[in-house]
Structure 1
């Protein structure tokens, strides 16, 4: 079965977050979704996840997740992502220096009834710090 990348839940979640369309999360995540993220940004509910994204877009107004590929296996979707932006304000323990960054990320989602129940974000935070600090 062929699945178009733009039709995957993981793609739509990251695109909605980048666009600050947090209301779209209601259709993409379960209310009790657990998101495992680095830098103390893990969440255990959709409302917490919305707050993280709100803070992310405030700190990085040009935040962009460029999805390179998505692999789908049943109720699991995995995306290889390049994240870019300008660290205009503090976020996730990184100071806002006004510098641009590019970071590799992998996102693995487990779906239940077509919505994210649990996700893991694996990000090269060290590379981000190297680019925006100093």
Structure 2
């Protein structure tokens, strides 16, 4: 079930429900790795996420608009395995695209 986070539904539960239903909200979500770089025990990955929400996303009614954002991951390796990861996604940019800004 899609839980909207828009209008009067801007509650903690609405926000968490939208995160949990993200696959339903953006059924065409695609992630594509664009570059990877390793320096010692650190691997940096630059990716692109694209999609078109089928309803309001984080309070923004996108009117069928799509987003195209960059994501960055930095993985720290220990003994050849990922020990820690740091992840950033440009959701502010996505919301700007969805709102037509």
Q: Same fold (TM over 0.5)?
A: yes
Of the candidates 44, 50, 62, which is equivalent to residue 84 of structure 1?
Answer: 50
Note the 1:112-127 alignment, pairs <5 A.
112-127=78-93
Of the candidates 65, 70, 87, which is equivalent to residue 36 of structure 2?
Answer: 70
Partner Cα distance (1:120, 1:65) in 2: 17
Structure whose CA Rg is larger: 2
- Aligned residue for 2:54, secondary structure, equals coil
Q: Which residue of 2 aligns with 1:58?
A: 24
Q: Structure 1: any 5+ residue segments left out of the alignment?
A: 1-39, 42-51
Question: Which is helix-richer, 1 or 2?
Answer: 1
Partner Cα distance (2:44, 2:59) in 1: 26
Q: When the two structures are superposed, what TM-score results if normalisation uses the length of structure 1?
A: 0.48
- Aligned residue for 1:87, secondary structure, equals coil
Note the 1:30-41 alignment, pairs <5 A.
none
Deviation >6 Å, runs of 4+ = none
Q: When the two structures are superposed, what TM-score results if normalisation uses the length of structure 2?
A: 0.60
Q: Structure 2: any 5+ residue segments left out of the alignment?
A: 1-14
Matched, 1:105 2:48: no
Cα offset, 1:96, TM superposition? 5.9
- Counting matched residue pairs gives 83
The 1:68/1:133 distance shift into structure 2, 3 A limit, reads: same
